[in-house]
Structure 1
Amino acid sequence: MSKRVTSRKSLSSLVRNRAAVVAVGLSATVALGAGVASAAEAGLSSSGTVTAAHAVQTQAAVQAKAAAVKKAAATNKAAAAKKAAVSAKKTAAKTAASWIDPVKKYTLSATFNQAGGMWSHKHSGQDYAVPLGTDVMAAHGGTVVKAGGNGAGDGPAYGNAIVIKHGNGTYSQYAHLSRIDVKIGQVVKTGQHIAKSGNTGNSSGPHLHFEIRTTPNYGSAIDPVAFLHGKGVKV
């Protein structure tokens, strides 16, 4: 009887031990499953965070690139405007330099279309009062078509004279000269010396008579001062 009781006790203890082991196993399994689930959730959460961060970085990069493009466009526009202004300034300077006053350091005297006893008709040009022997320059580049005494064919009132042909049907005339330093057919440049001022012909004192004409001959003169102003020359 005593031996049976002992065996039963042993069997009961074994059953309890096995139950405990199973319980521990189940607990471990449950714990492991929970860990796996937590890890999965953590992974998903991490992936979501990375994706959001990447989107923010991408958007920032796009915005930065757009800002850089806009800045570059503004810089290019400003540079283009500056270049255009410089070009316009150079063009204006070039236009002004393409025509010049025929003498330097002068005083304007008789004006275009002025009436007076010195002329049989109204004055046909602009007089520049300068000392005798002042350098006379070509007001613009062209070809000498008249040169000599008797107004180079326009009459003794002009004294020694020169006529230069320019482009677009424009001619310039220089009269009352003391010396002529060019010949017919000679090509001259703007500002080139062509003569010395004088007091020849119908003149009351040393000066240069200057005309702008639409033909090489007397009677086709226009206002030379207005013409030069139109070319950017200060007279």
Structure 2
Amino acid sequence: MSKRVTFKHSRRPSLSRVRGAVMAAGLGTSMVLGAGAAFAAGTAGFPHTAELVGATAADSVAKQAAVQGKAAKIAEQVVAKKAAVVKKAATAKKAAAKKATSWEAPVNHYQLSASFGNDGSRWAHKHSGQDFAVPIGTKVEAVHAGTVVKAGPNGAGDGPAYGNAIVIKHANGTYSQYAHLSRIDVHIGQSVSMGQKIALSGNTGNSSGPHVHFEIRNTPNYGSAINPVMFLHKEGVTV
């Protein structure tokens, strides 16, 4: 009697199964690798997220610094302008104060002619002032700040020998007189400052030629004159 031979299935996977598994694994791997490569390719050439954040923050700080710098510069300019205005006002105030306390000659670019105390046929008494020889129409200025107390023809009340004349009262109690004028540009009661134009020189009254007769007086009237050149010298004015 013959024996039946029974074959048991082997537990080892068949070759086809092994090959299928290997192919599947390879495909999966390829897909995974391909996706990674695609992602890498898509992000190639771009900075990392941290670098992007850092660059944005640095740019923001730079812009803020620029704005703050501009604001500081504007503030400095405003302060400088205010300081310039204050300085200018202080300078003007100082100049005005100095002008109010200083004196000057009645005309510019002159020649001294008859002096105080001179004798001569042109005067009944000794010469009461200082003559400044200048062309007709020369600007005559107030020698010091004050108030006009006389102005007009006939020596403004002091006599026809003076022609057109002006007398100004000053704060120190003295008076300045200007005579032989061709034109008077101020009126009685008017306040004037040193250097202000008050008249034009002329040849009116008892005058032998165009000039300004100038006096310093102790009163507004004729007969109270003192040496005007010496007085101006004491006030720092050289004539």
Please report the TM-score for the alignment, with normalisation by the length of structure 2. 0.59
- Quote the residue 1:119 is aligned against: 123
**Cα distance, 1:95 vs structure 2:** 7.7
Distance 1:229 1:96, change over 3 A: farther
Distance 1:97 1:147 in 2: 24
The verdict on how the C-alpha distance between 1:136 and 1:191 changes in structure 2, with shifts beyond 3 A counting, is same
Q: Distance in 1 between matches of 2:235 and 2:100?
A: 6
The alpha-carbon deviation at position 176 of structure 1 amounts to 0.1
1:125-204 mapped onto 2 (5 Å cutoff) = 125-204=129-208
What is the aligned partner in structure 1 of residue 236 from structure 2? 232
| Counterparts in 2 of 1:105 and 1:176: CA distance versus 1, 3 Å | same
Alignment of 1:7-18 (within 5 A): none
Aligned residues with identical type, % of pairs: 75
User: Secondary structure, in 3 states, of the residue corresponding to 2:181?
Assistant: strand
Question: Which residue is equivalent to 2:30?
Answer: none
- Asked if the contact 2:100/2:145 (under 8 Å) is kept, the reply is no
Q: Is the 8 A contact 1:95 1:232 kept in 2?
A: no
The aligned length equals: 145
Letter in 1 for 2:119: A
Name the structure where helix makes up a greater proportion of residues.
1
Identify the residue that residue 207 of structure 1 maps to in structure 2. Answer: 211
Report which stretch shifted further, 153-162 or 95-104.
95-104
Q: Provide the C-alpha distance between the structure 1 equivalents of 2:136 and 2:228, rounded to a whole number of angstroms.
A: 22
Question: CA–CA distance in 2 between the matches of 1:104 and 1:199?
Answer: 17
Shift of 1:98: 1.2
TM-score of the two chains, using structure 1 as the length reference: 0.60
2:148 alignment partner AA: V
Shift of 1:169: 1.4
Cα deviation for residue 94 of structure 1 reads 3.9
